[in-house]
Structures are given as C-alpha cells and as structure tokens.
A and B are shown apart, each in its own frame.
Chain A
Amino acid sequence: MASSEESATKKLDLQKVMDRIAEASKQVVSGVEAGTVENWVTIYIMGRAYQVPADLTILTAMEYAGYKFVRGVGCRQGFCGACATLYRKEGEYKLQAGMACQTRVEDGMYLVQIPFTPAEKPSYDIAELDYDVNTLFEYYPELARCVSCNTCTKACPQDLEVMDYVQAGIKGDFGDLAEESFDCIQCGLCAIRCPSEIVQYNVAQLGRRLYGRYDSPEPEHLTNRLEEIDEGKFEQALDEITSLGREELEKMYAEREREQE
C-alpha cells in the first residue's frame, strides 16, 4: 500500500464506510420502501390482486405484499427447489413454471405455489444394486408408462430436457440420464404435471447414484491415500505440527511452497 494511501485509510472514518455499504444494501436487507419505487405491476396471488414493485421476484413480491413464508421458501437462491410456482399470464393459455426466488414478477401474473409433492421414494442399498436398466424398472416400474408428451420438460424451471433423460433411463443410457438430470433441484413440478405419474426426479436420483458409483472406479490416488492413512504415514507429521506454537507455524506458513501451476 502506498504511504499516501495508508494515511488516507487512517483518516477515512472506517465506520462511515461500513455505514455507506449498509445504506446501499438496505433495499436487499430490509425490503424496498414504497416511496422509492417508480415502476409497479399487478400480480394475482391465488387470484387476489396486489400492487408490487416491478423489480422484485415472485418471492420478494409476495413478502412485500405481506406474506410471511413458512412453506414455499428455502435457500432463496435457486438451489433447493422449495419455491416451485405455477403461473399464467392474463390473456394467455400457457401455464408456466418457475422458482419464485428466480422469477421476476410480470404484470398480470396469476400464480400459485406448489410447496410439496407427494412422491414415492423407495428404499435401496446402492451397494447391493445391479448397474443395469432393470434396477430402474424394479424400483420405478411406471417409467415404462412414459408417453413422450414432453410436459415434464415444459414444466422444468431449470430448463432441463426432462423427457430426454427419462427416455435415456428407459434405454439404460446412464451417462445421458445422469448428465442431463445433473442440474435438477428436485422441486417436483415435473412429477406434478406428468400424465403417466412418473416421479422423474427420484428416478434420476437413483440413476445418478448408480452412475456415480459404478461408471468409473474410485481414483487410485484416493485409494492409495486411504491406505497410507491406515498405515499411519502422517501420524508423526501431524503430531509435530499440532504441537507447534504460533510463531513456528507462522514461519512454516510463510515459507511453504506453492505447487507450480
């Protein structure tokens, strides 16, 4: 740090910096203030109209309207699948699907959340299963009922090719099933919409576990390391390093070598 900058940091009121950051983040942390909103839209939450700021997501718009979520919310960032939502826009025939936390509100949106999917999840011991298409049919015989209507694909808020991975499963192509379903957040919308009553996301879960375990063996370097640990190869080094004082550790840390890129 240049010395002029150092004195600039010293002079700078660091608490004020923190306050400025907090002030700028206020809309995100404690909600948008009506007085600052320029653009509004009307959404219909289970049929009832609410005026909400236009730059909110379905999730934050429902909170703005006064909903305290207990169901239908989880990670708030598109990973957990808790906030599955169906909506139809005024004047349109198409029923659309999205995660409430990842979908911006639009004027004239009629929406309902589907916070739970009643679905079968059989028990199995992955170590005892055959890496074979019959395993999928054994646990999910309804897989054979797929009529290739593609409704599941249209319902997927992650834009996955759900029908394609179901078909890959039926053919026993575990690689395609696993790769194409990998981004699945298990929200359940595919299963809710499926006319053949397949639970696509659970089928894919079983398929991925079979693929992950059996497609390629455990890397040799890991197996070797486990053996070394069993043989106590690192015991002495760990005994030593855990007994070092701060100064010695600092020195070691400063001198450690970085692996070449």
Chain B
Amino acid sequence: MAELEYIEGYPAYMHELLQRVHASREKRKTYVPEAMSMEEQQKVLKLHPDYAPGGKRNISVGPNKGDVAPEPVADLLEAYPLVGSEEIDISSADFDVDIMVIGGGLAGTAAAIWANIQGVPADRILLVNKLRHGDANSIMAEGGTQAADREIDSLDRHYLDSMGGGHFTNKPDVLRGLVEDAPFVMHWLHELGAMIDKNEDGTFVEKWGGGTSVRRLHSCKDYTGLEEFRVIRDEFRSRKIGCIEHYPAIELLTDGEGTVTGAVLYNLETGEYKIVQAKATILATGGFGRLHIRGFPTTNHYGATADGLVLAYRAGAKLRDTDTVQYHPTGAAYPIQIVGYLLTEKLRSSGAQPVNVDGDSFVFPLEPRDVEASAIIRECYVRDKGIETPTGLRGVWLDTPMIEVKNGEGYIKKAFPGMDRMFSRYDIDMTNNPVLVFPTLHYQNGGVETDPQGRTTLDGLWVAGEVSGGVHGKNRLMGNSTLDTMVYGRRSGMSAAEYVKGGAEQGKLTLEHQTSYVKMLKEADVPPERRSPILLPEYRGKEALARMIDVF
C-alpha cells in the first residue's frame, strides 16, 4: 500500500467523503429523522450484537444454570478457582475489619464513606483495589448523571423513562430506589464541592439523554465521572479510611453455610496472598468490557474483567440479565489508536447527528442506546452506507460541527475539552470536521441480583454499581450508571453498617463453597485449564509471548 496522504488528520479519500457532511449541514439543521416506533425499534434490534445469532450459550453450572450468557462470560463462570484450600492457609486473617469493600470506583468509594458516616470507624473499613484507587470505569464517564430535580420533571417520569429504556425488564423496587435517591445524590455532590455545570441564573445545566423525555442530565463538562470521583476520593482520603491498592480479591471466603465472611487477596506485584476477615463484604468490582464480547473494542478501563461476577457466583449468589450487553452507539472508529474510545452521548444531546457516507442523517440521534447502535450497524452493513477506514473498520460520521451551529462558536472547547484534546492529538479538529464512529462495548447491563438495600441472595454480601443486576434491566439509559454507583454505593454502605452495628458476628473462614462448585465443574466436563478470575486482559505481543520462559 502506498503511503497515504493526510489532510486535517484524515486520509485524503476520507477527507473527500466528509465534504458531503459539510454540504448537507444546512439541510440537516432543520431536518432530523423522527424517533422510531416500538415496532421499528424491534426490527432494527435484530442487528444488535445481543440479538444476532451466535456468541452466546447456556450456563451449565451454578445458581443460574440454564440462563443465557455471552460465551466469554460463561467461560469465566464455568472455570476453576485460582487457588484451593490445600494451597493456602486461611486459618488466621491478616486484616480483621467490620466492612470490606472490594473495588474502588465510585460505588465502592461511596459505600466506604457512607459506612463511615453511619458510625463504622475508618480503621474498621477496608477498601480493596485491583489497580490504583480510582482505576475504574467511573472516572471515564463523560456525559452525566440523571436526577429528576426540575419542576417539569418527576421521580415517576424518571422511572418510566428508565423502564422503557430497559424494555420493561428492570427490577421495580431497585429502580424505584435509584430515582428516589437521585436528587439527594446531586445534593451530596454539591455539598462535597463537585463542580456541576450551572447556568448563569444558578440552576443546573440539564441535557437530554438518549431515551429521556425531559432534559435531566447533569454534567461536569465532559469529565463528569472524573470530577465526581476525584471529589469523592478526596473525601474518602480525608476520612482516612483503610485502603490497599494492587491487591485484587481472587476468592470470597464463606462460613460454609452461605454467609460471606471475607476474601483472599493477591498482591499483583509480589504474588503474596493475604486473608481478610469481614463481617460484611460489599462487592463493587464493575463490569466486563475487557472481555471484548463478540470481538468488539471497548470503552472500559483495563481491569474490567468480570471478577466480581465470578467471585459472587462461585460463592452461590444469583445473577440476572446475564444475556445482555450494552454497546455504546458512538465509539471512535478512527484513528486506529483510539478505536472503541467513548464519544459521549452528550455530543448528540448537544446537536451532533450521525450521518452516512452520502451525507444523509439516517436515525433520530437520541434513541435508547441499543436501538441507536443497531441503526448504525444497519447503515454500515445492511445499507452499505458506511465509511471504511484504512484498517478495514466501518463507521458513520458524527457531525460534531453541528454542535457549534446549534450552541454557538466556542461551545465545543468549553463543553467537551476532553474529547477535543483527544482528537487534536491526532490532528483532527472536531469543531470543523466530523469524527467517525461505530458501536463499542460499553456496559454490563445485568449482574448480581440485589434488593433495594444492595443485599444479594447471600448473607454478608452486598453489591453496588455495574457488578449488580436488575436496576437497568436489559438496557441502561445514559446518566443512570454514575447515578447507580452513588445511590447503591451509599445504600449498600449504610445497610452494611446497620448490619454490623446490629451485632453481626464474624463467621468462620472457609473455602467450602469451592468444593461443591468444583464438583459441579467436573461433572460438567469443564476443561481443567480454564481458571478465573482472569484479573487482567492479555495484550502482550504474540511474538514476545511465544518466546517467554518462566524462571522465577
């Protein structure tokens, strides 16, 4: 292949194609396709990776035996533990605490703070992190947080929008908790000093989100999760709550009778294990984006490998909605260095439209995420109206210059500094040229089943955030995930604190739940080399890996 000529960051042929987007902008200022009817939605959803044939199978062991899950998830559930009781000494604990929180994103950090506020001493709480405190999807959330706090809005309206987005599969009591506590979460963030975008008159700036019937989305420029998280982490650190990093949990401990009593931790750098005993354990380990389900790139952070699902399931907790995966409609499709990175939905709520190779707008820009993503796949692979990149990826344009047409000059730099910075590193000016997008693996819709206090089907175990299932049903709406982390981080932290203060006693430490699980695995003929959790994805070069020898 001859060396490509680049103009404004794009290969010349792509640059020529994008002129059609400029040419049609005037027309698209007033014309936007209508939102789909529910019938039309059902048709296009056939192209969604969840509904297209292949890629899934029934889970063959455990509490959800018979349920459908993506193959990489089923593989991890049907896998042997990393260590057994004969290999490690669990007779005494290295850490003795009241509450252990596993996972230091927004949910886990909020849980620890609220347990502390409820009276559990800071040194009786331990936050366990696989990577650094804050290496989580939370800080990558760009668009915003939903809360029905405008006069025109109501809690039941937020409920209905979320229920519809989830195709009416959300767990009602848990969803109710989400919408009821949302305004309080905004209040808490404001009290902590988070810089939430405000209008001149002092009201919050509130934007549309895909599938919302009113403007309900609060944001902090396009660094919403970063701002929310760093403020909450600063509060956590001020409270001097216990915290260890680069020490993932690789197995839960139980009393052998269904109560979770602690965990086995693993030092990622030295390989040493430690035993924690805790009266209450809150699992906030996030999702599974780094499993690259159906071969998709992902918006997720390095550690999103479904560890929490594996740990909870092996201990006997029930999961739900394991069959659905959220693909964000607009991941970057060009340049290759940033493929799969999140281009926030807020771009579309601010006026950016998906546009095909002819320069035509082909879908209402703010459908629920699964519908919008399917429409983009249809445009690229059924209608053949996509744009192909030099590495063979297809995508459609997202007409970002339209944002300035609608909101005035200078708006992008002000409202989307992160996005603008990312593209400018590759010589692309999103103020003047569109960017190329394609769906990217974004979110684990389902997870560990929970009640409105974050309790699971196991005593002593709570869950919060993406690892949990039910609140979003089979498709989460934008702005409900950061909200979920803080609502259920707080609720689970408070509920666990209450449990501890109510006189809960420390149960004995065993790995007995492993024994029965391993027996089931053997009966199901699971290959012995399959082990989980995997902790980190594998990205090392194949040539280098092929020559590695294990010395130490």
A residues contacting B by CB (< 8 A) are: 1, 5-6, 8-9, 12, 14-15, 17-34, 38, 55-57, 60, 63-71, 73-80, 82, 102-104, 121-127, 158-159, 178, 182-183, 185-186, 205-206, 208-214, 216-222, 224-226, 229, 234, 237-238, 240-243, 246, 249-250, 252-254, 256-259
Q: 12 pairs across A/B with beta carbons < 8 Å?
A: A22-B294, A55-B336, A63-B539, A65-B541, A70-B536, A75-B140, A213-B191, A213-B193, A237-B154, A237-B155, A256-B161, A259-B213
Q: If A75-B135, A211-B193, A234-B154 touch, does A14 touch B52 (CB 8 Å cutoff)? A: yes
Partner pick for B296 among A29, A178, A205, CB 8 A cutoff: A29
Among B181-189, B396-404, B454-462, the stretch that binds chain A is B181-189
Which residue on B lies nearest to A33, using beta carbons? B542
Contacting residues, chain A, for B154 (C-beta < 8 A): 234, 237
B392 touches A17 (CB 8 A): no
B202 touches A217 (CB 8 A): yes
Distance between Cα atoms of A206 and B195 in the complex (Å)? 12
Among B90-98, B337-345, B513-521, the stretch that binds chain A is B337-345
Contacting residues, chain B, for A241 (C-beta < 8 A): 156, 159-160
Which residue on B lies nearest to A125, using beta carbons? B238
Partner pick for B301 among A28, A74, A102, A186, CB 8 A cutoff: A74
Q: If A234-B156, A237-B154, A246-B168 touch, does A26 touch B295 (CB 8 Å cutoff)? A: yes
Distance between Cα atoms of A68 and B538 in the complex (Å)? 8
A22 touches B54 (CB 8 A): no
Among B17-25, B417-425, B526-534, the stretch that binds chain A is B417-425
Partner pick for A253 among B164, B238, B541, CB 8 A cutoff: B164
**Is the C-beta of B476 less than 8 angstroms from some C-beta in chain A?**
no
Which residue on B lies nearest to A229, using beta carbons? B183
Please provide the 5 A-B residue pairs with the shortest distance between their CB atoms, ordered closest to farther.
Answer: A22-B295, A66-B544, A209-B193, A74-B135, A213-B193
Q: If A17-B47, A222-B149, A259-B215 touch, does A25 touch B191 (CB 8 Å cutoff)? A: no
Partner pick for B238 among A64, A123, A216, CB 8 A cutoff: A123
Contacting residues, chain A, for B29 (C-beta < 8 A): none
- Which of B55, B154, B337 has the largest number of chain A CB atoms within 10 A? B337
Distance between Cα atoms of A144 and B436 in the complex (Å)? 47
B135 touches A31 (CB 8 A): no
**B contact residues, range:** 35 or more
Q: How far is the CB of A223 from chain B (nearest CB, A)?
A: 8
A63 touches B541 (CB 8 A): yes
Q: How many pairs of residues, A versus B, come closer than 8 Å at their CB atoms?
A: 299
Among B58-66, B226-234, B463-471, B479-487, the stretch that binds chain A is B226-234
**Is the C-beta of B409 less than 8 angstroms from some C-beta in chain A?**
no
Which residue on B lies nearest to A159, using beta carbons? B421
- List residues of B (238-277) whose CB comes within 8 Å of A's CBs: 238-240, 246, 268-269
Contacting residues, chain A, for B139 (C-beta < 8 A): 75, 79-80
- List residues of B (489-539) whose CB comes within 8 Å of A's CBs: 536, 538-539
B226 touches A17 (CB 8 A): no
Which residue on B lies nearest to A252, using beta carbons? B160
**Is the C-beta of B44 less than 8 angstroms from some C-beta in chain A?**
yes
Contacting residues, chain B, for A226 (C-beta < 8 A): 183-184, 187
Contacting residues, chain B, for A126 (C-beta < 8 A): 191-193, 235, 238
A66 touches B172 (CB 8 A): no
Which residue on B lies nearest to A10, using beta carbons? B46
- List residues of B (149-167) whose CB comes within 8 Å of A's CBs: 149-152, 154-157, 159-161, 163-164
Partner pick for B149 among A66, A77, A225, CB 8 A cutoff: A225
A66 touches B540 (CB 8 A): yes
A258 touches B213 (CB 8 A): yes
Distance between Cα atoms of A103 and B548 in the complex (Å)? 27
A178 touches B541 (CB 8 A): no
Which residue on B lies nearest to A126, using beta carbons? B193
Which residue on A lies nearest to B38, using beta carbons? A254
Contacting residues, chain B, for A22 (C-beta < 8 A): 294-296
- Which of B191, B381, B536 has the largest number of chain A CB atoms within 10 A? B381
Contacting residues, chain B, for A20 (C-beta < 8 A): 381
Q: If A68-B536, A237-B156 touch, does A212 touch B292 (CB 8 Å cutoff)? A: no
A121 touches B237 (CB 8 A): yes
Contacting residues, chain B, for A19 (C-beta < 8 A): 295
Q: How far is the CB of A193 from chain B (nearest CB, A)?
A: 20
- List residues of B (277-331) whose CB comes within 8 Å of A's CBs: 292, 294-297, 299, 301-302
User: Beyond A34-B543, A74-B135: 16 further Cβ-contacts under 8 Å?
Assistant: A9-B382, A14-B52, A18-B295, A22-B296, A63-B541, A65-B541, A69-B302, A71-B246, A80-B301, A123-B239, A185-B226, A206-B234, A213-B192, A238-B155, A253-B163, A256-B157
B148 touches A76 (CB 8 A): no
Distance between Cα atoms of A185 and B233 in the complex (Å)? 13
B292 touches A29 (CB 8 A): yes
Contacting residues, chain A, for B184 (C-beta < 8 A): 226, 229
Which residue on B lies nearest to A53, using beta carbons? B541
Q: How far is the CB of B195 from chain A (nearest CB, A)?
A: 4
B350-393 to A contact mask, C-beta < 8 Å, 1/0: 00000000000000000000000000011001110000000111
Q: If A31-B541, A183-B421 touch, does A205 touch B382 (CB 8 Å cutoff)? A: no
